[in-house]
Copies of this chain bind each other. A is one copy, B any other.
Amino acid sequence: MKFKVSARLGYQAKSAGTIILNIHALKTEKQTVLEETFTISPQADAEELITPGTDNRFMRVDIKEPGDYTVTYEAIVDNHFELGKYNKYKDISISQLDPAVLTYLSPSRYCQSDRLYRLAENEFGTLANNYNKAVAITKWIHNHVEYLSGSSTSETSAYDTVAQQAGVCRDFAHLGIALCRSLSIPARYFTGYSYMLIPQDFHACFEAYIAGEWLLFDATRLSPLNGFVKIATGRDAADASIASMFGDINNTDIEISCQLAEDIDFEPRYHYPSVYDGVAYR
């Protein structure tokens, strides 16, 4: 499916500094970037970073002069997600797990799975398999946590969200990741452009590694699972934040868009009420 995505980010630099952006569409086996443009005005040096152990496409922008900068990214992306089938999801034991995913079992800054294992065990431990557990976790979060802008900060973690029961997409994702890891299900943070998300913005969800696939879950239920253009994955928002600023630089505005780029009939797919097929972006 072809999508046209764009991001327009404004920054006020009161000093020289560096911005590391992670807004480019990922290039994967199943996601092809047909066209893309990236501009900074006024002009500033930018380089794409190749970082070991991740495919995320970080752009490092070198701000030499204070001033107001605007970053614009536009791309046409063709991607194909996989539709899993419930009946083929067989659990993989830790002893058989791909070593590359083991890191996604560890607690991370915003996902303190080491502190939530009893809750996870009590709520989900008896379910039949990891897929059922991930689906139940996603429903539980949706039912227990209120989506409320401004109810959380950049310091809010899964441990807080369990008690405070409010947050934004980032918090919903962190809690899903933490609960999966507490049950020894590898889980990671997913960011992307999202078709039909209202209002248009970057969106965060989580992926759980089930039966050898990274399956996508969105506890906010705000986006159709088949309408994403994948930007990045990581252990949590600390790995895959949209932008990191060094120096006295602030984000002043943001304008995101994700539209269909071909004339097809888009049928949004959600994990509920009773669709049990998983969705995977490879």
On A, residues with C-beta under 8 Å from B are 17-18, 20, 45, 49-54, 58, 60, 62, 93-95, 99-100, 102-103, 105-109, 111-112, 114-116, 118-119, 122, 144, 146, 154-155, 159, 162-166, 184, 238-239, 244, 246
Contacts and interface: CB of A to CB of B under 8 A. Distances in A.
A139 B20 CA distance: 32
Contacts of A54: 53
A115 B111 CA distance: 16
A51 B99 contact: yes
B163 A119 contact: yes
Contact of A155 (B17, B45, B114, B144): B114
A103 B103 CA distance: 14
A62 B99 contact: no
A154 B114 CA distance: 9
A145 to B, nearest CB: 9
B144 A95 contact: no
Contacts of A184: 246
6 contacts: A20-B102, A49-B99, A58-B99, A106-B239, A107-B109, A122-B144
Contact of A52 (B52, B62, B108, B166): B52
A19 to B, nearest CB: 10
A108 B238 contact: yes
A182 to B, nearest CB: 11
Contacts of A107: 109, 238
Contact of A115 (B51, B114, B146, B163): B163
A246 B53 contact: no
Contacts of A100: 51-52
B50 A99 contact: yes
A99 to B, nearest CB: 4
A45 B163 CA distance: 36
Nearest to A144: B122
Contacts of A109: 106-109, 111-112, 114
B62 A95 contact: yes
Contact of A163 (B106, B116, B246): B116
Given A103-B51, A108-B238, A239-B106, A164 B115 contact: yes
Contacts of A159: 163
